[in-house]
Structure 1
């Protein structure tokens, strides 16, 4: 079986290559990959190479396949797993393995298992850990985006609160509380808004800040009506356009402050603002992972002592979080498509990955079985002048509030292979 894949050989050294996969063993599974969304973590992996903690030191001799937010079809099942998995069915993938203390993970560590490929071999530890998941949804992209959504869901589950005089932690955001999502109009911020509105525990107030009006306006278009239906007050704030952002944010909360604050960017000013607007027993979740190992921000420890404010961070979600994301998506309670702004084929992965911080917009969704330049969904209509297929894609997404959807995916897979 031949596969075509983007492989990492070292820092900034990605190559699109075709090569043979070995025959699967009795405890392995062969899969066809259909979709993979590109994560900022993959960019970090690509620029660091063997210095990344999950990348093998011998990657220059034994390159790994990048990409970890992927979904597709099961093609062939080794004897050990034939009672659990069947050829022809869809799968979703939880990449956070933590197998016997190993840091190995798909998209970072395996020669034959990663998301930016046409075919891959699933190693036995993935099945042993329950990280290969049978998926019955309609769209592949929803299974790919279940991984980033699981990170968001995990952050909500890991957030906690306390009660005076009791040594008990109550997990989750504060019900009917005030929630602030700082630097929150990016792709992960949009998913965070979606879950705030449709998760099992809901705040009464959600304030989303950013410094980019176009991103804030897109978030407003997607969520404002939905928040009204849910009975949740949703406010968007450009912190660059107010002379005293802290004071303004506190006024919005009627002076109470915020019971939960998510800092969605590894920026010193964002983290310090998050600390300053916390209410009593407020929980600051530092969501965004920095590349700077010495990243620091000032925290008010007077408030830690006397107001029980607390800081925590999460990186990734677990398998339960991913399954919850899949189930909420299947029930149409959340829509991960809100994160996606660009679509591309396998041939666009290298340039997209290495330039990810410079490309505006949200999630870049890759379909590995096609060739297609990375294209903003908002540019489909303009692209139709050169390629009539984009005219139909533009029509489909325009009828869906400008969001990627199952119908668009089906058209793409039928017409762009």
Structure 2
């Protein structure tokens, strides 16, 4: 079977090309990829090439398929897995394999396994780990976005707190506590807000900071503080850009106690140091944002770590349970991962999107592997619709869903733009 895929050949060398897939083995599964959301981690792999720990050394002769936040439909099942899966099953993938200690993962390491392709071969380790997840929801985009949401959920689960005189760690954010999300109006921050407001362990105070008024305005429109108040949560959005002393201002919002849980969503030294300063007693700061600089450093207060005691940790990725929680919450309407999406496109725009990702404003870029369409901001649908009936109708659908991407919008796109 032929597939069309975006493959990595070297540093900044991405190519969209068609090639033949081998016949699947008895322990493999053939699947059609429907959707993939572009991750900043993919950009980091592309600009590093074989220097990246997940990218093989021989990509110049054995290129790897990009994309790891993907979902689709099973087409053919090898004999070993026919009692668990069948053609027609919808699926999501937990890509953080760590199989037998290997760093290899889809979207970085495999010749025939990734999300930026029309068809993919799922290798046996994915099924052995239980990381091929059946999906019952309506929109494939929710299954794609379950991966970044699982990273967010994993971060909330990974935070911990202690008891004086006892050698125990209580995992998770403090229920009814005070939480701050710094640099929180970007795509992952928006997902974190959604989860914090609707998970089973919610704070009483949630403060979200950013330095961009437009991002903060959109965040407040998506998550009105008056709605959060109905659930007993004081939700406050703060632009810290022009504050003389941001840390003092943020601490004052807590009544002087500081925060139980702080999440840092951008690899900026001043932001890390700000997060450390606003921790309260037994507070935990999670450095969520992965830097590309291997020498990235920031100063922290070790006096507080020793005596208060505060905790500093980092988390990246989630596990299968986090993925399942994301899928379940999406299916139940408790969270809406579409809040992260600002752009939609087809497979033909993936290479340019990855290469220019830091320079493209907005949130998540959602792509459809069996569609050819330039990357388009959702907010531009209406303008394009003045001359293109397809975008005119898509704009109407988006407007019905509070300006967000939806299962209805996805179905319309696939009906009118699929190339297969």
TM bucket normalised to smaller:
over 0.9
Cα distance, 1:226 vs structure 2: 3.5
1:161-172 equivalent positions in 2, closer than 5 A: 161-172=161-172
Matches of 1:230 and 1:197 in 2, distance apart? 8
Residue 268 in 1 paired to residue 259 in 2?
Answer: no
Q: 1:103 — aligned with what?
A: 103
TM-score, normalisation: structure 1:
0.99
1:201-226 CA distances to partner (integer Å, 9 max, x unpaired)? Answer: 01000000000000000000001144
Residue 406 in 1 paired to residue 407 in 2?
Answer: yes
Q: 1:38 — aligned with what?
A: 38
Q: CA RMSD in A?
A: 0.7
Residue 395 in 1 paired to residue 393 in 2?
Answer: no
Q: 1:82 — aligned with what?
A: 82
Cα distance, 1:386 vs structure 2: 3.0
Cα distance, 1:401 vs structure 2: 1.2
Matches of 1:230 and 1:117 in 2, distance apart? 42
Aligned residues: 417
Query: Tell me, what secondary structure is at the counterpart of 2:223?
Result: helix
Cα distance, 1:140 vs structure 2: 0.1
Matches of 1:294 and 1:226 in 2, distance apart? 42
Cα distance, 1:399 vs structure 2: 1.5
Query: Tell me, what secondary structure is at the counterpart of 2:151?
Result: helix
Q: 1:214 — aligned with what?
A: 214
Unaligned runs of 5+ in 1: none
Cα distance, 1:245 vs structure 2: 1.1
Query: Tell me, what secondary structure is at the counterpart of 1:100?
Result: helix
Cα distance, 1:244 vs structure 2: 1.8
Query: Tell me, what secondary structure is at the counterpart of 1:240?
Result: coil
Cα distance, 1:241 vs structure 2: 2.9
1:256-300 CA distances to partner (integer Å, 9 max, x unpaired)? Answer: 111100000000000000000000100000000000000000000
1:85-234 equivalent positions in 2, closer than 5 A: 85-224=85-224, 225-234=226-235
Matches of 1:321 and 1:355 in 2, distance apart? 30
Residue 62 in 1 paired to residue 52 in 2?
Answer: no
Cα distance, 1:228 vs structure 2: 2.6
Matches of 1:259 and 1:26 in 2, distance apart? 50
Matches of 2:231 and 2:15 in 1, distance apart? 47
Q: 2:339 — aligned with what?
A: 338
Residue 416 in 1 paired to residue 409 in 2?
Answer: no
Matches of 1:112 and 1:82 in 2, distance apart? 21
Q: 2:27 — aligned with what?
A: 27
Identify the range of structure 1 (284-293 vs 394-403) with the bigger mean alpha-carbon deviation. Answer: 394-403
